Amino acid sequence: MDLDIFSWFSIIGTIAFAVSGAIVAMEEEYDILGVFVLGLVTAFGGGVVRNVLIGMPITTLWSQGLFLKTAIISVLIAFLLPVGWIHRWRRSEALFDAIGLSAFAIQGALAATSMKVPLSAVIVAAMLTGIGGGIIRDLLAGRKPLVLRDEIYAVWAMLGGVLIGMGWATATWQLLGLFVLIIIFRMLSVHYKWKLPRRSLKQAAATSNNGKS
């Protein structure tokens, strides 16, 4: 079967996020069913949310046999990996997470442009496809969503959506270049700990209470 660039981005993102979800499930000591559920939800959660928002049938998920098989095999391999290999994966987790973010952001933007939706919807589709699975994964694992409180994350997915939605990245070589660019910027934000502005009410309250005492 011939695969277009859209399908390759889907496969890359599916593998990266399915393994990510499986490893988080094992960290939380879920059983094998929980590992598969979390792995599959991480791989497909963002795409399902995107489909709801841009009007694509959610049932298209069940016709994606190749991607479902890819996710299941990826989760199974992650579950069977020796512990040492899993720890090695954890050390390079940010890179694989960046790969998944980039691949799914581009895939989401391409899916949205195929529906002829406005630029704003393309940007939202890119963002949600890139970060939606990770948010659902963290919520199911009882964690605060990493993508909403850590280094700059969703911004890079939105950047991909802007470039694709504006028609500045349409050729295969342009999409591949964008794929690499998003990964580089994501890794730079991890390395240099770039963060978006934030305001902590807890810290403000603690400062206020200290001032009164």
DSSP string of 142-175, one letter each residue: T---GGGTSSS-HHHHHHHHHHHHTTSS-SHHHH
pTM of the predicted model, to two decimals? 0.84
At 2 the pLDDT is 46
Residue 194 DSSP SS3:
coil
* Average predicted confidence (pLDDT) for the chain: 86
Confidence of residue 1 (pLDDT cuts 50, 70, 90): very low
**pLDDT score of 179 more than 70:** yes
Distance CA 30, CA 37 (A): 10
* pLDDT (mean) for 54-74: 84
> Could you report how far apart the first and last alpha carbons of the chain are, in Å?
71
pLDDT digits (tens, 9 = 90+) for 88-143: 877 777 888 888 899 899 989 998 998 899 999 999 999 999 999 989 998 999 88
SS3 content of the chain, % helix, strand, coil (to 5): 80, 0, 20
Average pLDDT (71-85) is 93
Q: Is 206 or 26 the better-scoring residue by pLDDT?
A: 26
Among 19-23, 63-67, 96-100, 141-145, top mean pLDDT goes to 19-23
Distance of CA 68 to the CA centre of its chain: 16
CA angle 77, 141, 50 (to 5 degrees): 80
168, pLDDT greater than 80: yes
Q: Can you spell out the DSSP letters for 15-33?
A: HHHHHHHHHHHHHTT--HH
> What whole-number percentage of the chain has pLDDT above 70?
92
Tell me what pLDDT residue 21 has.
Answer: 92
**Burial class of 147 by CB neighbour count within 10 A (0 to 12, 13 to 18, 19+):** buried
Contact 48, 135 (CB under 8 A): no
